[in-house]
Structure 1
Amino acid sequence: MAELIDLSKVPVPDIIQPLSFEQRFVALKQLLIDIDPIYEAVVALESDPVTKLLQVFAYREMHLVAQINDATRGNILASSTGNNLIALGSRYDLAPLVIQAGNPTAVPPIPEILEDEQSFKRRVQMAFDGLNTAGSIDGYIFFALGADGRVADAKAVSPEPCEMVVTILSIEGNGTVNNELLIKVRNVFGMSADGLSQSNTPSKVRPQGDRVTIQGASIVNYNVQAVLQLLPGPDAQVVLAAANQALALYQKEQRRLGADITRSGIFKALHQSGVNNVNLISPSADITVLDHQAAYCTSVNISIGGIGE
């Protein structure tokens, strides 16, 4: 499977201009002096109306540049958000998947819930894989991800020629896929509800010669228990909150198929500013997660174990 570009590492385009009022104000003053040197003494006075006008022009120019910067970011996948991102996706005939349909007339009103932006960006990046009619691994992953907004991740392998095994992970609960979601994904690939045969409706995305198995991920449970030794000075609760927040982010990043849970990754998350040492009790070893598996943290217990030197 081809690796997707990490959008968080895409550099800021050169077209994005820095917002500096002072630079623009100085440039406008110099432009006026170049046009007529008589204004050099005038713009030297901060209270002169001409100087005030140049300040207004500089602020206005900075505001326009900010608008141009925002418009540019809105047209770049790495930085696009909201409706701008939806418009970008429409170029590839993609729209955010609906996880929960909204009903404003219900009591209380039911809000619409769409797939998160990172998941949508991933599908936009893979849009061209959907054009592959030869049954590539990336193509299978693309269509599995697009089958339903509850599909958090998907992987595909071909153990034998013309055989494909697609594993999916759910965003709900610990990631276990319920039967309803399995049926929905199987339907996309033109398979019966039980997955044992082809459905009566031919698939538009699965090559006719492929035999496909759709399965839910096997969940590998683990827990985190650690004792933090702090440096003198920092507030213990502030440090503890930062460590828990960083650990939650690490767990979120690793909640995907085939993502190992490593002690070094947990150490890195817990060793925040103000931490002198980390005694990681659990897990006692790295947790290897296979491609058909996903790790799920069942509990977290981080405590403070005193002050070090």
Structure 2
Amino acid sequence: MAELIDLSKVPVPDIIQPLSFEQRFAALKQILVGIDQGYQAVLALESDPITKLLQVFAYREMHLVAQINDATRGNILASSTGNNLIALGSRYDLAPLVIQAGDATAVPPIPEIIEDEPSFKRRVQMAFDGLNTAGSIDGYVFFALGADGRVADANAVSPEPCDMVVTVLSIEGDGVASADLLTKVRARFGLSTDGLSQSNTPSKVRPQGDRVTIQSAEIIRYNVEAQLQILPGPDAQVVLAAANKALAIYQKEQRRLGAAHTRSGIYRALHQPGVSNVKLISPLEDIAVLTHQAAFCSASDVTIGEG
């Protein structure tokens, strides 16, 4: 599968201007003095009304530039969020997938849960793969990701000509795709509920002649056990909470097919400010996975060791 651009590494466009009140105020004073040198002495007085007016103009100009910056960021995939991102995705006929439909009349009310922004941005990046009519690997992945909001990741391989195997990783539980989720993905490719035959509804995304198999990811489970030595001074419980939070973030970032959970990655997550040393008891080696597999941490036991 083609490697997508890492949006976090996209440079800030030159059109984004820095916000500096002092620079804009100085520029306005220079303009006024250029018109009439007599204002030089007036502008030396902070209390003069003209000085105050220029300060207001500088603040207003800075505010307008900030609005332009925000509007620019809202039209760039790497920095777009919220409704701006949804509007950007609509250019490609894409909208965030609904994971849980909301119901305000239920007791208690059921909130709507939609696809998270990183997942939606990934689908927007892959939008042109959906235009491929030759059944490319990326095309299969794109349509699998868009089949249901519960799809965390997908992978496609062709073990034999005209045979395609699509692996689905779920956002739910340990990542094993439920029967209902597999049914949704199969329906996207025009397959029956069990995936053994074509459905009555012709597929608009699966090339005719391709035999497609939809399967759940195989989950490789492991546990984390570690002891932290805390430096004198910091609150040990605060440091421990920060380490556990960083570990959870690392594991979430690695929740992908074929993504290894490495000891070095776990060390890096646990070694937060205030930690002098990390004794990683488990896992004993990197959790390596294949492209149809995903690693999942079943339990984490991070404690404060004796220093």
User: Normalising by structure 1, what TM-score?
Assistant: 0.98
**1:117 counterpart letter in structure 2:** E
What secondary structure, in the 3-state scheme, does the structure 1 residue paired with 2:38 have? helix
1:245: which partner in 2?
A: 245
Read off the aligned partner of 1:189 and give its amino acid letter: F
- Tell me how far apart the structure 1 counterparts of residues 303 and 149 of structure 2 sit (CA, whole Å): 37
Residue 175 of structure 1 corresponds to 175
Q: With structure 2 as the length reference, what TM-score do the two structures score?
A: 0.98
SS at match of 1:111: coil
SS in 2 for 1:278: strand
1:234 Cα deviation from its structure 2 partner: 2.0
2:70 corresponding residue in structure 1: 70
> Is 1:94 paired with 2:94?
yes
Structure 1 CA distance for aligned equivalents of residues 120 and 176 of structure 2? 21
Q: Partner of 1:57 in structure 2? A: 57
Q: Take 2:147 and 2:108, find their aligned partners in 1: how far apart are those partners?
A: 29
Distance in 2 separating the partners of 1:192 and 1:224: 40
Shift of residue 108 of structure 1?
2.1
Return 46-55 or 283-292, whichever deviates more.
Answer: 283-292
SS in 2 for 1:209: coil
What is the aligned partner in structure 2 of residue 46 from structure 1? 46
* Equivalent position of 1:105 in the other structure: 105
Offset, 1:298: 1.0
Counterpart residue number, 1:141: 141
Rounded Cα–Cα distance in structure 1 between residues aligned with 2:19 and 2:98? 38
Give, as a single letter, the amino acid of the residue that structure 2 aligns with 1:253: E
Q: Which position in structure 1 is the counterpart of 2:273?
A: 273
Q: Offset at 1:53?
A: 0.3
1:127 matched residue in structure 2? 127
Matched residue SS, 1:108: coil
For the pair 1:160 / 2:163, whether they are aligned, the reply is no
* Partner Cα distance (2:271, 2:160) in 1: 45
SS of match in other structure, 2:305: strand
1:177 partner amino acid: A
Residue 9 (str. 1) matches residue 9 (str. 2):
yes
Give the Cα separation in 2 of the matches to 1:63 and 1:261.
Answer: 45
| Cα distance in 1 between the residues matched to 2:121 and 2:287 | 29
Aligned to 1:231: 231
SS at match of 2:124: helix
Deviation, structure 1 residue 105: 2.0
Q: Which letter does structure 1 place at the counterpart of 2:229?
A: Q
Displacement of 1:231 in angstroms is: 2.2
Measured in 2, the distance between the counterparts of 1:150 and 1:12 equals 32
Structure 1: which 5+ runs fail to align?
Answer: none
Distance 1:10 1:241 in 2: 31
Task: Report the CA distance between 1:230 and its aligned residue.
Answer: 2.1
* Correspondence for 1:202: 202
- CA distance in 2 between partners of 1:129 and 1:122 (Å): 12
User: Deviation of residue 171 (structure 1)?
Assistant: 0.8
Deviations 1:241-290 (A, max 9, x none): 11111111110011111111111110111111121111100001111111
Amino acid at match of 2:134: A
1:172-199 superposed Cα distances (whole Å, 9 cap, x missing partner)? 1111111111111101101111111111
Distance in 2 between residues matched to 1:264 and 1:33, nearest whole Å = 60
CA distance in 1, matches of 2:236, 2:112: 39
How many Å separate the matches in 1 of 2:240 and 2:190?
50
Letter in 2 for 1:222: Y
1:135 maps to amino acid: G
Q: Percent identity of the aligned residues?
A: 81
Distance 1:109 1:273 in 2: 41
Alpha-carbon offset, residue 233 of structure 1: 2.3
Measure, in 2, the Cα distance between the counterparts of 1:75 and 1:59: 25
Instruction: Compare 108-117 and 142-151 and name the one that shifted more.
Output: 108-117
Most deviating of 133-142 and 261-270: 261-270
Q: Per the alignment, in what secondary structure is the counterpart of residue 304 of structure 2?
A: strand
The count of aligned residue pairs is: 307
Q: Determine the C-alpha separation between the residues in 1 that align with 2:169 and 2:245.
A: 24
Q: Give, in whole Å, the separation in 1 of the partners of 2:84 and 2:19.
A: 22
